[in-house]
Chains A and B, each alone.
Chain A
Amino acid sequence: MALDAILKPINRLGRGTASALAELGYAGAILVESVYFALVGWRHGQPVRPAAIVEQMRQVGIDAIPIVLLLSFTVGLMLGIQFVSAFSEFNAESQVVMAVAKSVTREFGALITGILVAGRSGSAFAARIGSMNVSQEVDALYVIGIEPVRYLAAPALVAMLVMLPTLTVLANTAAIVGAALYCAPVLEVSPVVYIIQTLHALEMRDIWEGLSKSVVFAVIITLVGISTGFGVTGGAEGVGRATTRAVVLSITLLVVADMVFSFFLNR
């Protein structure tokens, strides 16, 4: 029927919107509950254990340091190459220091770290909680009297909120060192001088811009990973699907959020 052909897509769109909204609400609830348990859970017999937070910090943060350093060093080097070649076309090489410093601290440090951690840890959250869901471990937590959000989500969120900005600072440093190694000879200064010039070029708000983005990224990655994990149905296959979805969705949201941030902060 002709009417059906029109109504069906509308119907589907409506249902898609509704489920997206429901998911947003669900993620919001996890956020609120995690914060609640982290702050006052111990008063209601639901403490968030420091040991669990430390363990998460190791997994999402410490273990990611080598790859974050390597990647941001490389990207810094690449930025150096590109800026030098672009600026030299109109003889503005002296601006390279400034351009690298600002683009790294405001943008790339946080973004690279975010994407990496989304790939490493966002997927790990989804996989871990998803498989716990499938094997009734989440139910087991409930009946033992342990709120799954308190036990699984809150430590991850706290760890991410601490570690992602920390990793971002490391990434900024590595990227600038990478850029220095390429640009300093071209600009005929020593790498140390290049770095000192960078520090002079930077303002506090450049650093803050990157760090505040990384806090938002931490929330996005954690909530997407965890809510996707809790939503898993359909056995091992479902866990696989959830893992992929968590990575794709969190990177997408991350880039969009980054764009929105940059837009409003640089007007």
Chain B
Amino acid sequence: MDAEPVIDVQRLNVWFGKRHILHDVDFRVMPGEIRVIMGGSGSGKSTLLRHLLGLLKPRSGSVRILGTDIAAASSAEVLRLRRQMGVSFQGGALFTSMTVGENVALPLREHTDLDENTVRIMSRLKLEVVNLGGFQDLMPSQLSGGMVKRAALARAIVMDPKLLFFDEPSAGLDPVVSAELDELILQLRDAMRMSIIVVTHELESAFKIADTITVLDRGHILMTGPVAAVRASDNERIQDLLNRRPRKVEVDTDEYLRRLTEAEVD
């Protein structure tokens, strides 16, 4: 077993304007691992994900994917990486001008010179995998929300990527489909040897699929550890998240007054 991490983020700091969004984030994922990123709204999960995908370049700290520093990589190297990564976006992000089948086949058509028969079989196979067999000729606008999500997953795995990213897989899905999706994520790891990063709010799903969980809170990593360790953590913020407790908001009088009264800076 090679011990090279597939994702290696070190001391990542992110600012949007003057707001410090991610603080000294270290994040490491090993091959074959299923990692769940959890955290409240606005804690920086999507921002971290966008850095892992190379959609944002780190200005401080480093992001290495499959051993390559994406900020320093040449465009050919980035292209090589992209062929080994699959992403299923929260809203699906299917191309609305193409059929479902064309959407799923697009990465194959762009990156391989496989024969058209093979492309067709491979893309329909992936639709079967996500239980959308026979839906290839529909347009994305004709699919339900859950079907869009599954079609997006089919597109994400069509190249058999080493790394699969999944933003909010179960949000807005019925419990049965969401359980099937969890099962599928586990199977993909086992059969296709993928390493999988999942951003989710659903605790039940997180505990079922995760090997390890990273908890983000207001841009800080509170902890990264196996499911049991996270559940047993005595950190108050983590327990708030796990037990769906409303968080206690500390009130700093000066700060509060300043926020209410400060003139706008434009």
Contacts and interface: CB of A to CB of B under 8 A. Distances in A.
B106 A142 contact: no
Nearest to A8: B266
Contacts of B78: 145
Interface string B77-93: 01100110101011101
Contact of B87 (A44, A46, A143, A146): A143
A182 B125 CA distance: 65
B55 interface: yes
A136 B91 contact: yes
Interface in A139-178: 139-140, 142-146
A140 B87 contact: yes
Contact of A145 (B82, B96, B155): B82
Contacts of B91: 135-136
Most chain A CB within 10 A, of B55, B79, B93, is at B93
A140 B93 contact: yes
Interface in B103-118: 106-107, 110-111
Interface in B57-101: 75-76, 78-79, 82-83, 85, 87, 89-91, 93-96
Interface in B208-261: none
A45 B87 contact: no
Contact of B89 (A45, A131, A139, A145): A139
Interface of B: 53-55, 75-76, 78-79, 82-83, 85, 87, 89-91, 93-96, 106-107, 110-111, 155
A44 B55 contact: no
B111 A145 contact: yes
Contact of B95 (A46, A140, A142): A140
B7 to A, nearest CB: 14
Interface of A: 44-46, 131-132, 135-137, 139-140, 142-146
A131 B94 CA distance: 12
Contacts of B111: 45, 145
Contacts of A142: 53-55, 82
B82 A139 contact: no
Contacts of B107: 144-145
A139 B152 CA distance: 13
Given A131-B96, A139-B53, A140-B93, 17 more contacts: A44-B75, A44-B79, A45-B79, A45-B111, A132-B96, A136-B89, A136-B91, A137-B93, A137-B95, A139-B55, A139-B89, A140-B89, A140-B95, A144-B106, A144-B110, A145-B110, A146-B110
A135 B93 contact: yes
A136 B93 contact: yes
Contacts of A139: 53, 55, 89, 93
Nearest to A128: B97
Nearest to A15: B266
23 contacts: A44-B75, A44-B79, A45-B76, A132-B96, A136-B89, A137-B94, A139-B53, A139-B89, A139-B93, A140-B94, A142-B54, A143-B53, A143-B54, A143-B85, A144-B106, A144-B110, A145-B78, A145-B79, A145-B82, A145-B83, A145-B107, A145-B111, A146-B110
A-B pairs with lowest CB-CB distance, top 7: A145-B82, A136-B93, A140-B93, A143-B87, A136-B89, A144-B107, A137-B93
A142 B106 CA distance: 13
Nearest to A143: B87
A172 B32 CA distance: 65
Nearest to B107: A144
Contacts of A145: 78-79, 82-83, 107, 110-111
B20 to A, nearest CB: 21
A132 B95 CA distance: 8
A26 to B, nearest CB: 17
Contacts of B79: 44-46, 145
A227 B224 CA distance: 41
Contact of B96 (A45, A137, A146): A137
Contacts of B90: 136
A132 B96 CA distance: 8
A45 B113 CA distance: 11
